[in-house]
Amino acid sequence: MFYRISNDTMEVEATQKWEQWEDGVAVFTSQEWEKEMDIKASYLLNQREDNIHFCKLEIHGNYLFGTLHIPMKEQHEKNLGFAFYILEKRLIFIDDSEIVKKSIDKIMVSKQRKGYTLERFLYDFLLSFIDEDLLYLAALEKEITNMEESIINGNVHKFNYRMLHLKKEISRLHRYYSQLTNLGENLYENEMDFFGKEDVTHFRVFSERAARLQAETQVLREYAMQVQDVYQSEIGIRQNNVMKVLTIVTTIFLPLTLIAGWYGMNFVYMPELQWRYGYPFVILISIIIVIISLWISKRKKFW
């Protein structure tokens, strides 16, 4: 697919002589790009676009080569990646996932500003991948808040599994925004002078927005750690309550055990053995001991 920026608008280009354009954008699949490189390898070095695992920008002699590794929202641990070349007045994307085409279509239906340029398109293109990320981060924060409330309400079912899932997602986004920040700063430096001095400031804006998102993910990471500490405290309180109950039960039954052991000796000359009311008396004494033990525990606020 080929596009061209002309008269402040971006439109599909029918011809395929993209290497002769100015302000042109070309989108290839990996197979199409291999064919192009076999035919027109005179001014671009063949870079491998497979195995894309991070966002980067490399500076070469007469072009810039980069990759974008984009985490899919709502689909944890799923990512889409593509490669791109930046030349003077031209952009080339190599993408098998169609995410580039969808982003360009989204930009085309929006209203372009007056004096729309290739630099502005690249800014809009990069921005399209993080434009709604604040909403996603807010959803993650709400999920953490719900987990915190469930802990307070005593519902800790599968907490560690859910929290691990969230922390992995937040860590993935934090790395992503960090890499985008570096990419935006490299574009802003404009070492190859591919971009106009007035338009290059857009990349500084993009870098700052990515940095703010990175800061937001750091706040979420710290919040998740605090909630996990609350969970550990709640588990500790529950264990303490269990030990408290066991201690009270043990304290109550200690004198009863003593009585049982005492009368279990069955000495012949124990008067209670021959007394008619000896057995009911021992039962009464045991009940009184239990009541007194419970009263003392309640008064001392052991439970």
Compute the distance between CA of residue 186 and CA of residue 192 in angstroms, rounded to an integer.
11
Q: Which domain covers residue 280, as residue numbers?
A: 245-299
Q: Which residues contact 78 (CB under 8 A, 6 or more apart)?
A: 71, 72
* Cα–Cα distance measured from residue 129 to residue 106, given in angstroms and rounded to the nearest whole number: 11
Domain final position from 112, 129, 161: 112
Average pLDDT of the chain to the nearest whole number: 81
Number of folded domains that form the chain = 2
The 10s digit of each residue's pLDDT in 173-197 is 999 999 999 999 888 887 777 787 7
Tens digit of each residue's pLDDT (9 = 90 or more) over 219-262? 999 999 998 888 888 888 778 888 888 888 888 888 888 888 87
Residue 271 falls inside a structural domain: yes
The domain boundary residue, chosen from 66, 94, 112? 112
Residue 265 lies in a domain: yes
Residue 101 lies in a domain: yes
Give the model's confidence band at 50: pLDDT under 50 very low, under 70 low, under 90 confident, else very high. very low
DSSP secondary structure letter of residue 72? P
Q: Residue 210 falls within a domain, yes or no?
A: no
**Is residue 44 predicted with pLDDT exceeding 50?**
no
Mean pLDDT for 92-113 is: 83
Among residues 112, 139, 166, the one where a domain terminates is: 112
For residue 48, what pLDDT is reported? 47
Residue 19: inside a domain:
yes
The pTM of the full predicted model, rounded to 2 decimals, is 0.74
CATH of residue 4 = 3.30.460
Decide if 68 is inside a domain.
Answer: yes
pLDDT at 89: 82
The total of other beta-carbon atoms located within 10 Å of residue 189's CB is: 13
